[in-house]
C-alpha cells in the first residue's frame, strides 16, 4: 500500500533496512481504533514481504506510545456484536509477523498500548514511559494479551497487582522486572530502536527469522519440545549459504557478507 494512503499511522524508510511506523493520533494519545489497527496490520505485512526490510520499529509520540484501545469506539458495543464480529481479533496479526519488531515506547503504554508493545519482539523505553493495564477501571479486563504476556514477563504477583488495581509501572520498574530490554536516554529511544533494527537487518535474514521463531516457541512449547524445535531449526540452517558464508568468514578472518539465502 502507498504509505500516503494511511490516516492513522506514518510509515517511512529509516535506512539500513529498517521500516519506521509511527502511530499518529497524537490528540487522542494514539488510542487504538479499529482503523488504526487495520492500517498497522497492512503496513507491517507489507514490510514483512519487502525483501529490502530487515526489521520494523513501531513508535508513538513523546507523550504516548498508545493510551489503549479506543474507549469511545468501544463504549456502546454489545456482546453479540463483539463476539460474532470477533471484535479486535485482528490485533493478533502483529504477533504473526516474521521479521523482528522493536517497540520504541515513550509516555503512556496502557491497556491495548501495553499489549501492542508486548506483541513486539524487543521493547526499548524512554525514561518517561509508563506501562499498565487499567482495564479494571473500565469494568473489563485486558483483552489482547495483558493477562498472559505480562504474566510471562513479570511473574504472577506484580502482574496481578497491575491487572487487579490498574496501577502503572515506570520505565525503571519495567526494566527491573524484565518487561523491557532497557531504558534509553531521554530523546533517544526511536534512534536507538532504529540502530538495533539496523544491526538485525545486517545479519542473515534466514537465521534472524529462525531465531525469532525459536525464541517465541519458548512461550508456547514445553521445554523438551522447544529444545527439539530449536535443534531442528539449527540443523536446517546448515542448508543455507549464509551458514557457509558466516562460518567461512570467521575461519578466513574476514567480515561475513550475508545474502539471505
Ligand atoms: N480511548 C479513547 N480516547 C482516549 C484514550 C483511549 N484509550 N486515552 C486518551 N484518550 C483521549 C482523551 O479522551 C482525550 O480526548 P479529548 O481531548 O477529546 O477529551 C485525549 O485523548 C487526551 O487525553 P486526556 O485529556 O485524558 O490526557 P491526560 O494527560 O489527562 O491523561 C491518560 C492521560 C492518563 C492516559 C488518560 O487519557 C487515560 O486514562 N486514558 C485511558 C487509558 C485506558 O484506560 N486505557 C485502556 C483502554 S481499554 C483497552 O485498551 C482494552 C484493550 C483490549 C483489546 C482487546 C482486543 C481483543
72 pocket-lining for ligand 1 (C-beta < 6 Å): yes
> Has this prediction a pTM greater than 0.90?
yes
Are the CB atoms for 9 and 32 separated by under 8 Å? Answer: no
Q: Which residues of 58-77 are buried (b: 16+ CB within 10 A; e: fewer)?
A: bbbbeebbbbbbbbebbeee
Three-class DSSP category at 122: strand
Are the CB atoms for 77 and 33 separated by under 8 Å? Answer: no
Mutational test site, ligand 1, from 24, 25, 28, max ligand atoms within 8 Å of CB: 28
d(C-alpha 195, C-alpha 184), whole Å? 12
211 pocket-lining for ligand 1 (C-beta < 6 Å): no
ipTM of this complex prediction, to 2 decimal places: 0.96
Whether 69 is catalytic is yes
Mutational test site, ligand 1, from 29, 38, 115, 163, max ligand atoms within 8 Å of CB: 29
71 pocket-lining for ligand 1 (C-beta < 6 Å): yes
Q: Which of 39, 135, 192, 230 does the annotation list as catalytic? A: 135
Find the mean pLDDT for residues 159-163: 98
Q: Which of 31, 55, 69, 153 does the annotation list as catalytic? A: 69
Q: Which three cell numbers stand for residue 75?
A: 463504549
189 pocket-lining for ligand 1 (C-beta < 6 Å): no
Q: Which three cell numbers stand for residue 32?
A: 487504538
- pLDDT computed for residue 5 by the predictor: 83
Whether 115 is catalytic is yes
Whether 112 is catalytic is yes
Residue with cell 491487572: 163
Whether 139 is catalytic is no
131 pocket-lining for ligand 1 (C-beta < 6 Å): no
Q: Is the pLDDT of residue 3 over 90?
A: no
Of 151, 122, 123, 115, which is closest to residue 215 (Cα–Cα)? Answer: 122
Nearest CA to ligand 1 atom 27: 29
Residue with cell 507489507: 46
Q: Which of 17, 112, 146, 246 does the annotation list as catalytic? A: 112
Tell me the DSSP string of 13-48. Answer: EEETTEEEEEE--GGGTT-B-HHHHHHHHHHHHHHH
Nearest CA to ligand 1 atom 16: 28
pLDDT in tens, 29-43: 999 999 999 999 999
pLDDT in tens, 47-84: 999 999 999 999 999 999 999 999 999 999 999 999 99
Q: Is the pLDDT of residue 2 over 60?
A: no
- % of the chain at pLDDT higher than 90: 96
- pLDDT computed for residue 156 by the predictor: 97
60 pocket-lining for ligand 1 (C-beta < 6 Å): no
129 pocket-lining for ligand 1 (C-beta < 6 Å): no
Amino acid at each position: 500500500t502507498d504509505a500516503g494512503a494511511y490516516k492513522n499511522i506514518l510509515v517511512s524508510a529509516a535506512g539500513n533496512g529498517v521500516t519506521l511506523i509511527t502511530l499518529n493520533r497524537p490528540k487522542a494519545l494514539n488510542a487504538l481504533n479499529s482503523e488504526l489497527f487495520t492500517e498497522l496490520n497492512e503496513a507491517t505485512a507489507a514490510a514483512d514481504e519487502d525483501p529490502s526490510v530487515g526489521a520494523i520499529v513501531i513508535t508513538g509520540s513523546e507523550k504516548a506510545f498508545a493510551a489503549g484501545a479506543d474507549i469511545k469506539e468501544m463504549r456502546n458495543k454489545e456482546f453479540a456484536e463483539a463476539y460474532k464480529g470477533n471484535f479486535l481479533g485482528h490485533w493478533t496479526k502483529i504477533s504473526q509477523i516474521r521479521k523482528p519488531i522493536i517497540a520504541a515506547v515513550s509516555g503512556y503504554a496502557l491497556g491495548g498500548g501495553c499489549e501492542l508493545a508486548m506483541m513486539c519482539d524487543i521493547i526499548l523505553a524512554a525514561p518517561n514511559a509508563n506501562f499498565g493495564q487499567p482495564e479494571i477501571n473500565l469494568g473489563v479486563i485486558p483483552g489482547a494479551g495483558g493477562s498472559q504476556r505480562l504474566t510471562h514477563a513479570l511473574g504472577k504477583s506484580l502482574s496481578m497487582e497491575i491487572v487487579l488495581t490498574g496501577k502503572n509501572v515506570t520505565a525503571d520498574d519495567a526494566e527491573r522486572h524484565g518487561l523491557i530490554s532497557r531504558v534509553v536516554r531521554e530523546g533517544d529511544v526511536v534512534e536507538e530502536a532504529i540502530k538495533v533494527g539496523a544491526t538485525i537487518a545486517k545479519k542473515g535474514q534466514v537465521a534472524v527469522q529462525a531465531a525469532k521463531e525459536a525464541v517465541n516457541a519458548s512461550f508456547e512449547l514445553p521445554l523438551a519440545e522447544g529444545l527439539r524445535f530449536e535443534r531442528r531449526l539449527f540443523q536446517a540452517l546448515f542448508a543455507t549459504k549464509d551458514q557457509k558464508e558466516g562460518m567461512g568468514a570467521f575461519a578466513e578472518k574476514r567480515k561475513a557478507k550475508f545474502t539471505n539465502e
